[in-house]
Amino acid sequence: MLVKFEFIDPNKKIISELESKLNIAQGVPRFRNRMKIQGLPININETGRYAFRVSQKDTGANDFKAVSELPLDIKIILKEIEISNQRLSTS
């Protein structure tokens, strides 16, 4: 089975995508998979609901079928900080 992981921004644009082959034994009622993501391509000026979409393509199928979508709400708050009597903006 081929699996596709997509990271989608609040405007529904796919900003990152990864395909991987998974071998799941037949008759297994549950399957857990962990993956390490090295940085997410998030624009600090675009807060909102991002999403991870998981799709699968079974052997012999032509297209991927979405099987799960996990929301991720991103809210970025920029603050000014003061160092040695100088104001610095973090924006």
What is the DSSP annotation of 46-90? --EEEEEEEEEE-TT-SS-EEEEEEEEEE-----EEEETTEEEE-
Q: Per the confidence metrics, is the pTM higher than 0.85?
A: no
For residues 37-65, give the mean pLDDT: 88
Residue 68 carries which side chain, given as an amino acid letter?
Answer: S
pLDDT class of 86 with cuts at 50, 70, 90: low
